[in-house]
Amino acid sequence: MSVEQPIDDRTSLEHEPELNKYFKAAIKTRASDLHLKVGQPPKLRLFGELKKTTGEVMSAKRIEELVFEILSPSQKKFFLEHGTLDFAYELDGEHRFRTNLFRQRGMISLAARRVNSSIPPFKELHLPPVMEKICEYRQGLILVVGPTGCGKTTTIASLINYINLTRSCHIVTIEDPIEYLFKDEKAIVSQREIGIDVKDFEEALTYLMRQDPDVVFVGEMRDARTVNAGMRAAETGHLVFGTLHSSNAAQAVHRLLDLFPQTERDLVRQTLSLAIRAIISQALLPCLIEGVDRIPAMEILLVNAASRKLIAEGREADLSSVIRGSQHEGMQDLTYNLCELVKNGSIDPKDAYKYAPNIEELKMALKGITTTSGGIL
């Protein structure tokens, strides 16, 4: 069982904390992470690899001095009792780090992840034009699904920022942790971080509707309460974004229903069929284009009357046929997308086969052989 983190109640210091120079070094070098460990000089993660800095070798006393200076009394008490602490640390109102303190072999270590303030647009992420259409929805539930590390958070950040740039509205996010910082543009964006701005998801969701949101991001759909809150918000005229660990639209529906007791699933299924507007499934593949490390392969379901009926009747396994037959509407079949990425030289065929839902079908598609289920390949 997870231990509840203390709410951040730090007060401003009269002088600049010494630890800031290490955070500033991470900002200057564009490092993704900062590590402090006893017996080692500070290390920065650059391009995926930890690199030593020329800073002093850390002693136990020195790390304790550095980290305790920036903690509030309640945070220090929590850390001394539990041996770990999560908190956000901000410099100059612009740069933010998600920081974890932990004990190892009786000594304090620090690991800090730099939160991104630059949110890439659709084109830079190689996302399809239909993303703009999805952002034009005024209500409903939008799920972005895929395995850990597939870029779900980045895709949602790009979707939310597009709305931020184009629509006068109030966007509320509930995150654990915050991974991208939004700047108010045409919209106003209120970002609430669990353990810092609000105690937990339950409390954040309880008061969500009192904050007059138009667009909501509830983070991961991790339990029945979160799903219920998301569907309820979608039903009452809000556009709701959430993430889920699943490989495609059909599995996403199964995963959501599995969060509920068997006796409630029929009602939840009917509610979901009315609330859901789109399911975006993605995976990140190594890219052959110079200067691009990875590129997304995507399945996109835009919920129409046919797919809504399939979900309501428990026939979500047939959603793939709706996607294939509706690509002219902006939907996207994963096999078709993999085929296109191979043909335009973006990915290696070997990588495409690893992610293909049906290898033989992809092989036929690459040979230009159409399928009988919609003739889209």
Contacts of 13 (CB under 8 A, 6+ apart): 69, 70
As a whole number of angstroms, the distance between CA 233 and CA 209 comes to 8
Last residue of a domain, one of 115, 144, 174: 115
Determine, yes or no, domain membership for 296: yes
Average pLDDT for 220-247: 94
Number of compact structural domains in the chain: 2
As a whole number of angstroms, the distance between CA 323 and CA 171 comes to 29
Domain boundaries, position 327: 122-366
As a whole number of angstroms, the distance between CA 279 and CA 151 comes to 15
Last residue of a domain, one of 115, 135, 160: 115
As a whole number of angstroms, the distance between CA 213 and CA 160 comes to 13
Average pLDDT for 350-357: 95
CATH of residue 221: 3.40.50.300
The share of the chain scoring above pLDDT 70, in percent, equals 94
* Among 21-25, 58-62, 113-117, 132-136, the least confident range: 113-117
Give 200's pLDDT tier (boundaries 50, 70, 90): confident
Contacts of 83 (CB under 8 A, 6+ apart): 102, 103
* Among 181-185, 195-199, 205-209, 254-258, the least confident range: 195-199
The encoded tokens of residue 349 equal: 């065929």
Higher pLDDT, 207 or 281: 281
Average pLDDT in the chain: 91
Q: Are 122 and 131 in contact (CB under 8 A)?
A: yes
pLDDT of 12 reads 59
Residues 105 and 133 in one domain: no
Q: What is each CA distance from 301 to 97, 177, 206, 319, 332, in whole angstroms? A: 35, 28, 30, 8, 7
Give 335's pLDDT tier (boundaries 50, 70, 90): very high
Residues 104 and 167 in one domain: no
pLDDT of 4 reads 64
pLDDT at residue 14 above 80?
no
pLDDT at residue 11 above 70?
no
Residues 234 and 354 in one domain: yes
Q: Tell me the β-bridge partners of 36.
A: 110
Determine, yes or no, domain membership for 334: yes
pTM: 0.81
pLDDT of 167 reads 98
Determine, yes or no, domain membership for 15: no
Determine, yes or no, domain membership for 206: yes
Give 157's pLDDT tier (boundaries 50, 70, 90): very high
Determine, yes or no, domain membership for 127: yes
pLDDT tens-place string over residues 87-139: 888 887 778 898 999 999 999 999 998 887 789 999 999 999 999 999 999 99
Determine, yes or no, domain membership for 331: yes
State the chain's maximal CA–CA distance in angstroms: 71
Residues 200 and 274 in one domain: yes
Residues 285 and 235 in one domain: yes
Residues 102 and 132 in one domain: no
Give 1's pLDDT tier (boundaries 50, 70, 90): very low
**b/e per residue 299-335 (b: at least 16 CB within 10 A):** bbbbbeeebbebbbeeebeebbbbbbbbbeebbbbbb
pLDDT of 375 reads 46
3 state DSSP class of 216? strand
Residues 191 and 248 in one domain: yes
Determine, yes or no, domain membership for 174: yes
Number of H helices, E strands in the chain: 15, 13
Last residue of a domain, one of 65, 98, 115: 115
Residues 130 and 97 in one domain: no
As a whole number of angstroms, the distance between CA 347 and CA 292 comes to 11
Residues 135 and 278 in one domain: yes
Residues 36 and 77 in one domain: yes
Determine, yes or no, domain membership for 4: no
pLDDT of 376 reads 42
CATH of residue 33: 3.30.450.90
* Among 77-86, 132-141, 183-192, 198-207, the least confident range: 198-207
pLDDT of 353 reads 96
The encoded tokens of residue 43 equal: 């290390």
Residues 91 and 131 in one domain: no
Assign residue 93 a region (left: φ > 0; alpha: ψ between -120 and 50; beta: otherwise): left
Residues 182 and 148 in one domain: yes
Omega of the bond leading into 177 within 30 degrees of 0 (cis): yes
